[in-house]
Amino acid sequence: MKLLLHTIFAFTPAQRSVLAAALPGVEIAETGGGDLNLYDGRDVAILVTEQLPRELAGWPALRWVQLISAGANQVLGHPLQATDIVVTNASGTHGVPIAQYVTTAVLMAAHRVPEILAFKPTRTWPNRTALASRPLRGATVGLLGYGSIGRECARQLAALGLRVICLKRDPAAREDRDFNAWPGTGDPAGRLPEAWYGPAALEEFVRASDYVVVTVPSTPQTAGLIGARELAWSKPGAHWVVVSRGGIVEEAALAAALRTGKVAGATVDCFVREPLPPDHEFFATPNLLLTPHMSGVYAGFWDIFNTLLADNLRRFAAGDPLLNRVQHARGY
């Protein structure tokens, strides 16, 4: 049985040994990245990748795709949707670092850090009372999406005294049994939110939140989920943090809401087009902190990913359910 690692990362001998031990007899090959469609996939049973092959006819032995990304929107509209090929994602490998990013964004907004950083180059002492901070204790953070990332955001922000609420597709499904790279983190039992909302209650959810954190996956249902109308529901002083995928919050609508003051501030790490073109209006939008889709980039990722992959290989060998299985129709 052949396992193909299609990544720009070169797995170390120690990492490959862990994988080989998890599925005895497996043949491990690496592409080094590049265009997957140029590879001969005829004998590949397990594919580890972020991109999918355009045509599945050249991959007749394929039984399982392990994605490197936590998102699985590349499955949507792909021929793989009409097959029984198992797809798993990398959910649970990014929870702590992305939640740290969110916590940083909330603290920076509360303590006016972007404005404070502008003081030093001026060499002019500012009006410090105009830079008054905003205590977080007692404020409400609304987590739009409550997967592994949202749950760790909840844990970290609750520790700062914020009240946590969340909105998810099925608010009755409160437990998370998928992979978690950091035991003891997150909220696997779903105990932290004080209120759970479904999609029909989006307006009530937004109006209740001092900080809104967007962690939902990119699907046809979430594309353009937050536009001008939804942003207008924001509380005075509300701050939005977007860390999942571009296009869930409409970029033009967010820029307009920030210019008019309907939204007090935002931190955005993902965009419809990446790299963000230099003429994009976000670069001239006030009260907006931009980062280059790096909230989930951290040292040690590949060791953690290897742990997930090895665990799933052991499950595959035993015929047990795999962790982080993607529902083809939903795309996550």
Helices assigned H by DSSP within the chain: 13-22, 95-110, 113-117, 119-122, 148-159, 202-208, 228-232, 251-260, 301-318
95-290 has which CATH code?
Answer: 3.40.50.720
Statement: residue 227 has pLDDT above 90: yes
Q: What is the mean pLDDT of residues 190-206?
A: 98
Statement: residue 20 has pLDDT above 90: yes
Domains 2-93+299-318 and 95-290 equal at CATH topology level:
yes
Q: What percent of the chain has pLDDT over 90?
A: 95
Alpha-carbon distance 318 to 312, whole Å? 10
pLDDT tens sequence across 292-327: 999 999 999 999 999 999 999 999 999 999 999 999
pLDDT-derived band at 332 (thresholds 50, 70, 90) equals confident
Q: What is the mean pLDDT of residues 225-254?
A: 97
Helices assigned H by DSSP within 111-250: 113-117, 119-122, 148-159, 202-208, 228-232
Q: What is the mean pLDDT of residues 121-134?
A: 95
Domains of the chain, by residue range, sit at 2-93+299-318, 95-290
Note the pLDDT of residue 329. Answer: 82
Alpha-carbon distance 200 to 153, whole Å? 23
pLDDT-derived band at 211 (thresholds 50, 70, 90) equals very high
pLDDT tens sequence across 160-174: 999 999 999 999 999
Give the end-to-end CA distance of the chain in Å, rounded to a whole number: 27
CATH superfamily of 2-93+299-318: NAD(P)-binding Rossmann-like Domain (3.40.50.720)
Statement: residue 45 has pLDDT above 90: yes
Note the pLDDT of residue 330. Answer: 83
Q: What is the mean pLDDT of residues 253-268?
A: 98
Beta 288-290 vs 265-268: how paired, if at all? Answer: parallel
Rounded to two decimals, what is the model's pTM? 0.95
Alpha-carbon distance 210 to 156, whole Å? 16
- Comparing CA positions, the residue from 289, 323, 307 lying closest to residue 179 is 323
Mean pLDDT of the chain: 96
Catalytic residues: 245, 274, 293
Q: What is the mean pLDDT of residues 233-251?
A: 97
pLDDT-derived band at 331 (thresholds 50, 70, 90) equals confident
